[in-house]
Structure 1
């Protein structure tokens, strides 16, 4: 009597293993891109600079401690939703998602450099408006492949619109 076990994976197991590769790769690549944007944006922040402290800010300006909390959650949402959309999109559409995400992340990081480093709130308003449009584009692009993932990006859009209004208010308050 031969009791040898066949330990070769069956076809279903092999297909699942092969499908998991791009999923992990997407998660790593998107995670790295989001982390790079977060790091680049953080490097531009100078919230303790004399220039920033001297600005007239509205009463509805959030406490400084709110920003890292909010941005950590938003960057997590961006990474999760973009990865999920990439995993669900056909290979022919993944470049569109990646390009839209990359543009959005570059605009996101660029705002802090325009506002804090260049000390140009007017330029930062333009950057913020471009980021708002880019975020709408990201939501639409992600939504073509996963509606739930797109819905997760709505708070990101809301925060960006709030930040645009805040930046514009600071610009007007501090323009001679």
Structure 2
């Protein structure tokens, strides 16, 4: 496959996942979310879109760096972990914003955090550059997990 098409597909996958979950939850972000009690460190809503866009692009670049490596068991495991974390990422917003299941979303984000760590570890075995591009993602999901836990606590 053409290198540029592969790059576009690899970046497009996480962007599509984020766009779909964002579309499904956008109404509740505007109507339900503002009514929740939030901690003082809750960023403005305008921050989330740009941050997630950058993180999804970094995910896609990392995925491309892994995909282009020669076939191996390590590469296959890295791809599987990437897909699992992307699946958990997709469901978090839907659980939180669409279904208002703040506690279930918290459990999901804890699993997501663990799978991001596993993915980074496995990416290192295939491509150190791919792994290093995921540290901002882990940092943001760590922050989002604390934010999710705080919102759950303040609204139980």
TM-score (norm 2): 0.90
- Structure 1 CA distance, aligned partners of 2:76 and 2:12? 17
Q: Which structure has the larger Rg over C-alpha atoms?
A: 1
- Structure 2 CA distance, aligned partners of 1:150 and 1:67? 23
Post-superposition offset of 1:34: 1.2
Where does structure 1 lack aligned partners over 5 or more consecutive residues? 1-20
Structure 1 counterpart of 2:37: 56
Give me the CA root mean square deviation: 1.6
Structure 2 counterpart of 1:77: 58
Report how many aligned residue pairs link the two structures: 153
- Structure 2 CA distance, aligned partners of 1:24 and 1:101? 20
Structure 2 counterpart of 1:32: 12
SS at match of 1:144: helix
Please say if residues 114 and 124 of structure 1, whose CA atoms lie closer than 8 Å, have aligned partners that are also in contact: yes
Moved over 3 A (4+): 21-26
- Structure 1 CA distance, aligned partners of 2:46 and 2:76? 36
1:42 aligned residue (12, 18, 22): 22
Where does structure 2 lack aligned partners over 5 or more consecutive residues? none
TM-score (norm 1): 0.80
- Structure 2 CA distance, aligned partners of 1:155 and 1:147? 15
Structure 2 counterpart of 1:91: 71
Structure 2 counterpart of 1:124: 105
Please say if residues 85 and 145 of structure 1, whose CA atoms lie closer than 8 Å, have aligned partners that are also in contact: yes
Please say if residues 65 and 129 of structure 2, whose CA atoms lie closer than 8 Å, have aligned partners that are also in contact: no
